[in-house]
Amino acid sequence: MTRTLLPSVAALALLAAAGLLAPGDVTDEGRGAAPAPDLPPHARAPYGVPLSVAEGARLLAWDKDIERAAAAAEPGRFRKDGDTWVDARGEYAWDAEEEVYWQDVPASTLTRGRQDFVQFCSSCHGLQGDGYGRSARGLRPPPRSFLRSTFKFTKVPGAFLPNDDALLRLVQHGLDGTPMLPWAVSEQRLRDILQYVKSLSPEDSGWRDPTNEIGDVIYTPPDPVTDESHPKHPWYRQPEKAVAAGAEAYHKYQCWSCHPAYMTQKQLNALRGPSFADTAYDASLTYGKLKKDSSYEVLGYHVAIPAPDFTWHVLRYGRDAREVFQTIAAGIDGAGMPTWGRTDPDAKGSVPDEEIWAIAHYVRHLVATYQDQPAERAAFMAGVRSK
């Protein structure tokens, strides 16, 4: 009897000793910040990383979001006071002095956003949201820093801050050809993450700066190639005509000053008119150019990303002509690409809508015909580069 019991007793004693010697629960001080009492099981992070947000944030709100909230809210919550909305719950508040709406995002929302941010986003965008996570090292293009409130490919003109819906679409779409994936996380969780990301704007910048304005996605008129209300349009159901017009417009608007040119120098000069007949270009004409002045700063030094070659590079957010149209029209905030379209239907853009549509079709044509087709692409580019 003793012989069989002894090993068991010894083992139990060892276990008990191990339990006494092992560190107990980590105290709140050790964690850096008090964890929220009801952490979901996934909310684990490297030692010392705070997972809760103690204070709510007062962020700029978009008028259209408030109108939508008012339409969906229970009766009696929102009422009109003159031209502005008054929220009985106090979540949204009109600031008469700055003439903006503020949204008070509660700490609970930010904590949920923070926890998902740490789980999903921090490996690249950093635990502080500064764009310098563990996996960010050497990544080009570098992951966005959320401390600077500029976002590429939101389809919102660079003069404005993007609205939540535009950011949500971007996160769900992903950026092709980069590690920014199409995020299949539920919309509610993504919205909480976005609130947290917006709250990362430093004091008096981004969503905390009342002089900023939140904008809508660029005005997108119907595509003349598919627009059934204008069947008389010469491009209607004839994309090749739009592509031909786009080739001309692309070179006329000098897209090749950043992107590659897809014409021989002779053709290009013929298109530019008699005064350019003998213009000579350097070899970089048919390559994307590195623009130092539009570079992006990472931890104190600048990273320059060249404009894409449409026969070579994957388009970040341009799976069809419509997406390409919106990228061209809205421009790319934080890059060299200006806003080419018009922000609202009454304004006048620097390039007419129809020509942007033509260029969009041309770009999609280049992508579809030559990307991942090395033989065809080599033949095409050799032709372009011949004198």
Partner 1 sequence: MSPIRSRRARTALATLAALAALALAPATSAQQVVDRWRPNPPASSYGQRFDDLFLLITVLIGVSFAIVLVLLIVPVVRDRARPGHKASFDHGSSLHDKRFTAVVSVTVFIVLDAWVLVVAMKDLREGYWNMPRPDTPDVLRVEVLAQQWSWNFRTPGSDGELGTPDDVLSINQLTVPQDRPVALNVTSKDVIHSLFVPDMRVKRDANPGAINVAWFQPIKAGDFQILCAELCGYAHYQMHGKLHVLPAAQYDAWEQEASAIALAEHDPNDAEARWAWDFKE
Kindly write out the interface string for residues 315-354 of this chain, putting x where it contacts partner 1 by CB under 8 A and - elsewhere: ----------------------------------------
Q: Which among 60, 59, 58, 63 has a CA at the least distance from the CA of 216?
A: 63
Q: Which among 365, 345, 369 has a CA at the least distance from the CA of 250?
A: 365
Contact (Cβ atoms closer than 8 angstroms) between residue 286 and residue 366:
no
Minimum Å distance from CB 223 to partner 1?
30
Position 44 contacts partner 1 (CB under 8 A) = no
Question: Please, which residue, 271 or 378, has the CB nearer to partner 1?
Answer: 378
Position 186 contacts partner 1 (CB under 8 A) = no
**Touching partner 1, residues 352-381 (CB under 8 A):** 372, 374-375, 377-378, 381
Amino acid at 34: A
Position 172 contacts partner 1 (CB under 8 A) = no
Residues 6+ apart with CB under 8 A from 89: 77
Alpha carbon separation from 18 to 1, 11, 22, 130, 159 (Å, rounded): 26, 11, 6, 41, 61
Single out the residue of 44, 68, 89, 302 in contact with partner 1 (rule: CB under 8 A). Answer: 302
- Which tokens hold the place of 194? 């976005």
> How many residues sit in the footprint of partner 1 (CB under 8 A)?
34
Single out the residue of 23, 76, 82, 138 in contact with partner 1 (rule: CB under 8 A). Answer: 138
Minimum Å distance from CB 75 to partner 1?
40
Other Cβ atoms within 10 Å of 296 Cβ, number: 19
Amino acid at 189: R
Position 284 contacts partner 1 (CB under 8 A) = yes
Query: Which residue matches tokens 């692409």?
Result: 377
Instruction: List residues binding partner 1 (CB under 8 A).
Output: 119-120, 123-124, 134-135, 137-140, 177-179, 181-182, 284, 287-290, 298, 301-304, 306, 309, 312, 372, 374-375, 377-378, 381
